[in-house]
Amino acid sequence: MDILTQYAYIISAALFIYGLKQLSSPATARRGNAISSLGMLVAIVATLLDQDIVDFQWIAIGIVVGGIIGGTAARMVKMTKMPEMVALFNGFGGMASLLVGWAAFAFRPDAGTFTLITIVLSILIGGVTFTGSMIAYGKLSERISSAALLFNGQQVVNSLVVLGIVASSVMFCLEPSNSGWLFWVIGLSLLFGVMVVIPIGGADMPVVISLLNSYSGLAACAAGFAVDNNILIVAGALVGASGIILTQVMCKAMNRSLSNVLFSGFGSGKVEATKVEGEIKPITAEDAFYILEAASSVAIVPGYGMAVAQAQHVVKELAELLEKNGAEVNFGIHPVAGRMPGHMNVLLAEADVPYDQLLEMDEINPRMETVDVAIVIGANDVVNPAARENESSPIYGMPVINVDSARTVFVLKRSMASGFAGIENPLFYKDNTRMLFGDAKESISGLVREFS
Amino acid sequence: MISVEVFIIPDEVFLTFILMLSIFLGFELINKVPATLHTPLMSGANAISGVTVVGAISLAGSGQQDLANWLGSAAVALATINVVGGYLVTDRMLAMFKKKGS
């Protein structure tokens, strides 16, 4: 590779790093993204100008095809579907690394052991990322059941797959001329990706896509070693670190360890429902309106149900009406609300809710006692007081938004069917809770109509 | 006469060194990203992980009509989806984040 290409990579690494630094505030984030994309452009152009590149036909076809698909997807995707899109892109990144690892071997079959090991790693991590992401995509888009899938002997099968991966990887490095081992590594890593994601339920997807995000970076990193390219290593490591941090944030927000999320089959319906004393008190839109009209402080706590009902725009409308009426309106966002980190924030930003009105759990909880009305929209576990009060609850210890401390709580819910994992929510039975049954969008539109 | 022994760092050591520094840098940078930007962070990370396109280009453009060339071309297409799609959708999202009163 030319020395000039190498210098260009230094510039592009600096731009990636500076771009990510700008992501520390919503005010500068957009510019940061543009700077990062400039870094990518520099890296790509420098590579294309390298003397080793003699044939541009297939590169051009690849870039045009990929550019059209990526550009179209980015324009068309609905904001509620971002988790699916990120899952798919994680998968493409993994597959690209698998192919690069394989191609690196096809290009230089006489590579040394160190390179062979990195080739195996890029195929392995890339393969797991690809099929794991496809399963995650299937679960998120409900193309396959989002429930955790457990079967007898799952551990045995998984252990055999891991053993097979280790054995075929070692054999490939010892005996690279026998291409059979390479195909075993590819096949088993693809199988392993499926096996690791099927036992994980839909509501744990924030952890899974964060982790796969990290893997897609690590796969790029390994591919960088395989083709001796340092920009792949730098960029891959940045992505890997990002995914790992998000995974930690998600696990902490659920008070669960990563291994518990990955292996316990949480939410497969094994949990026994605990009985809750009390009475459900439904409320009509009209009565809810009278209470809201008198409120001077309102906290809105959205969950996945808001995304499903596409209710973010009417929620914004309601918030505006409440503010016009003199109330202070804030949004309380739990880190695992929705199906990916920051899911709610993007939906509300789409509906033009200013980001300084979105409060994190630790900011809104101390204020909750002064809140007149807390409106829970399609959230369940993240507002469940059992996490604080009931030691036998499966989610005991998970930090939650304490909506029950507000003077009145409205819970917007489709029906009384229990949420993910069948955990009873005592919030619904509290004295200060009123249930507003129906589709979240319909219910809020009803409230908006009452105001006008 | 003094003889100076020139010691050249092997490639793999050099690359591993870069990896180690990048991981620590990554942790420092990403820890400062606020929770409200975690979705754009992930889609932006998708775009950056599309950097694989650079490795793929050098394999797809070797001029030999062989397996490495075909695999490299497919990787170029996949990684470009990530680069183009990732940056564009992140920009689309970040454009929507507004401060109160602006």
Q: Please tell me if residue B13 touches chain A, with a CB cutoff of 8 Å.
A: no
- For B57-95, b where at least 16 C-beta lie within 10 A, e where not — what string? bbbbbbeeeeebbbbbbbbbbbbbbbbbbbbbbbbbbbe
Of A20, A48, A107, the CB nearest to B29: A20
Residues of B with Cβ-Cβ distance to A69 under 8 angstroms: 77, 81, 85
Q: 């940045």: which residue's tokens?
A: A238
Interface with A, mutate which of B18, B64, B78, B98 (most A CBs under 10 A): B78
Contact B22 A234 (CB under 8 A): yes
A368: domain CATH number? 3.40.50.1220
Within a domain: A277: no
B58-61, Cβ contacts within 8 angstroms, sequence gap of 24 or more: B58/A1, B58/A47, B58/A50, B58/A52, B58/A53, B58/A227, B58/A229, B59/A100, B59/A103, B59/A104, B59/A107, B59/A227, B60/A55, B60/A58, B60/A59, B60/A62, B61/A48, B61/A52, B61/A53, B61/A54, B61/A55, B61/A56, B61/A58, B61/A59
B73 contact residues in A (CB cutoff 8 A): 58-59, 61-62
Cα end-to-end distance, chain B, whole Å: 73
A58/B contact by beta carbon, under 8 A: yes
Q: Where are the domains of chain B?
A: 11-94
Q: Does residue A119 sit in the same domain as residue A246?
A: yes
Q: Respond yes or no: is residue A381 known to be catalytic.
A: yes
How far is B79 from A229, CA to CA, in rounded Å? Answer: 16
How far, in Å, CA of A300 to CA of A285, rounded?
A: 16
Quote the pLDDT of residue A268.
Answer: 52
The single residue listed with the structure tokens 């409440």 is A322
Contacts of B26 in chain A (CB under 8 A): 237-242
CA B48 to chain centre: 4
Residue keyed to tokens 């899952």: A87
Q: How far B53 CA lies from chain A's nearest CA (Å)?
A: 8
pLDDT score for A270: 47
Burial of A305 (0-12, 13-18, 19+ CB in 10 A): buried
- Residue A330 in contact with partner chain B when CB distance is under 8 A: no
Residues A384, A420, single domain; the answer is: yes
Where does a domain end: A218, A240, A270?
A270
Q: What is the mean pLDDT of each run of 10 residues along chain A (452 residues)?
A: 90 97 96 97 95 88 96 94 95 97 92 93 97 95 85 89 96 91 96 94 87 96 94 96 93 87 65 66 91 94 92 95 94 92 94 94 94 93 89 86 94 72 80 91 92 82
Q: Which of B18, B21, B81 to mutate to test the interface with A (most CBs of A within 10 A)?
A: B81
Beta sheet of A373-377, edge-to-edge order: A358-360, A328-333, A297-302, A373-377, A408-413, A433-437
Instruction: Report residue A371: phi and psi, to 5°.
Output: -85, 130
Strand partners, A437: A413
Distances (CA, A) of A92 to A122, A158, A268, B35, B59: 13, 24, 29, 25, 18
For residue A275, tell me if it sits in a domain.
Answer: no
pLDDT in tens, chain B (102 residues): 666 777 777 888 989 999 999 999 999 999 999 999 999 999 999 999 999 999 999 899 887 778 889 999 999 999 999 999 999 999 999 999 998 876
Give the closest of A85, A210, A238 to B48, CB-based: A238
Q: Do A252 and A213 reside in the same domain of the chain?
A: yes
Contact list in B for residue A59 (CB cut-off 8 A) is 57, 60-61, 73, 76
Regarding whether A394 and A249 lie in a shared domain, the answer is no
Of A356, A381, A404, A439, which residue is the catalytic one?
Answer: A381
A60 part of contact set with chain B, CB < 8 Å: no
Structure tokens at A395: 């989610």
Q: Say if CB B52 and CB A220 are below 8 A apart.
A: yes
- Transcribe B33-71 into DSSP letters: S-GGGHHHHHHHHHHHHTTHHHHHHHHHTSS--SHHHHH
Is the CB of A77 less than 8 angstroms away from the CB of B79?
no
Question: Is A103 close to B78, i.e. CB distance below 8 A?
Answer: no
What length does chain A have?
452
Say how many Å lie between the first and final Cα of chain A, rounded: 68
Cβ(A148)–Cβ(A205) below 8 Å? no
| Cβ neighbours, 10 Å, residue A36 | 29
Interface of A with B in 117-136 (CB under 8 A): none
Task: Kindly report the nearest CA distance between residue B3 and chain A, in angstroms.
Answer: 29
Asked if the ipTM is above 0.85, the reply is: yes
Residue of A nearest to B25 (CA): A238
Give the residue numbers spanning the domain of A215.
78-270
Last residue of a domain, one of A270, A297, A322: A270
Shared domain check, A392 and A347: yes
B residues 31..50 contacting A (CB < 8 A): 31-50
Note the pLDDT of residue A414.
82
For residue A197, which of A123, A87, A361, A33 has the smallest C-alpha distance?
A87
For residue A351, give both structure tokens: 């509906």
Gap between the Cα atoms of A423 and A425, Å rounded: 6
In a 10 Å sphere around its CB, with 0-12 CB exposed, 13-18 middle and 19+ buried, how is residue A190 labelled? buried
Kindly report the backbone phi and psi dihedral angles of residue B59, in degrees, each rounded to the nearest multiple of 5, phi listed first.
Answer: -85, -30
Contact (CB<8Å) A70/B81: yes
A382 token code pair: 């993240």
Residues A289 and A398 grouped into a single domain: yes
pLDDT of residue A273: 53
Residue A102 lies inside a defined structural domain of this protein: yes
Q: Are A103 and A111 in contact (CB under 8 A)?
A: no
What's chain B's Rg over C-alpha atoms? Answer: 20
Compare CB distances from A67 to B34, B80, B90 and report the shortest one's residue: B80
Q: Is A346 in the B-facing interface, judged by CB distances under 8 Å?
A: yes
User: Given this model, what pLDDT does residue B5 score?
Assistant: 75
Indicate whether this model's pTM tops 0.95.
Answer: no
Q: Is residue A295 part of a domain?
A: yes
Q: Is there a contact between A237 and B28 (Cβ–Cβ < 8 Å)?
A: no
Same-domain status, A18 and A86: no
Residues A317 and A209 in one domain: no
- B11 in contact with A, Cβ within 8 Å: yes
Of A270, A303, A323, which one is at a domain's C-terminal end? A270
Mark whether A301 and A447 lie in a shared domain: yes
Measured between beta carbons, the chain A residues lying within 8 angstroms of B68 are 103-104, 106-107
Q: How many angstroms away from the CA of A286 is the closest CA of chain B?
A: 30
Residue type, A360: E
Closest by Cβ to A66, choosing from B34, B76, B99? B76
Q: What tokens were used for A388?
A: 């604080």
Instruction: Considering only the beta carbons, identify the residue of A19, A62, A233 that sits closest to B80.
Output: A62
Residues A321 and A337 in one domain: yes
- Which residues 20-49 of chain A have a CB within 8 Å of chain B? 20-21, 23-27, 29-30, 33-34, 36-37, 40, 43-44, 47-48
Q: Tell me: do A72 and A93 sit in the same domain.
A: no
Q: Do B63 and A27 touch (CB under 8 A)?
A: no
Number of domains in chain A: 3
The answer to whether residues A119 and A111 touch, using CB atoms and an 8 Å cutoff, is yes
Instruction: Count A/B contacts: CB-CB distance under 8 Å.
Output: 373
